[in-house]
């Protein structure tokens, strides 16, 4: 197992590459999910305000 993690002495280069891919690709999925919640909340709030004004 530790042999595998060492990557023949190239651990830093290999795991930084895979790690960066993981971080970027996770962020690109999470950000639109948060954005969607924010958008729907915003539209809901606007609808409620309009109804009160009527």
Whichever of 4 and 54 has its CB closer to other proteins, that residue is 4
Instruction: Establish if 40 lies at the interface with other proteins (CB under 8 A).
Output: yes
- For residues 14 and 7, the answer to whether their CB atoms sit within 8 Å is yes
- One residue of 1, 24, 49, 52 binding other proteins per CB under 8 A: 24
In angstroms, the CA 26 to CA 20 distance is 10
Dihedral over Cα of 36, 42, 45, 49: its sign: negative
Binding residues for other proteins, rule: CB under 8 A, are 4, 7-10, 13-14, 16-18, 20-21, 24-25, 27-29, 32-33, 35-37, 39-40, 42-44, 46-47
């Amino acid at each position: 197992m530790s042999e595998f993690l060492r990557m023949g002495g190239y651990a830093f280069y290999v795991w930084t590459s895979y790690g960066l891919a993981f971080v970027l690709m996770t962020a690109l999925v999470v950000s639109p999910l948060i954005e969607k919640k924010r958008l729907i909340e915003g539209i809901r709030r606007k609808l409620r305000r309009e109804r009160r004004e009527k």
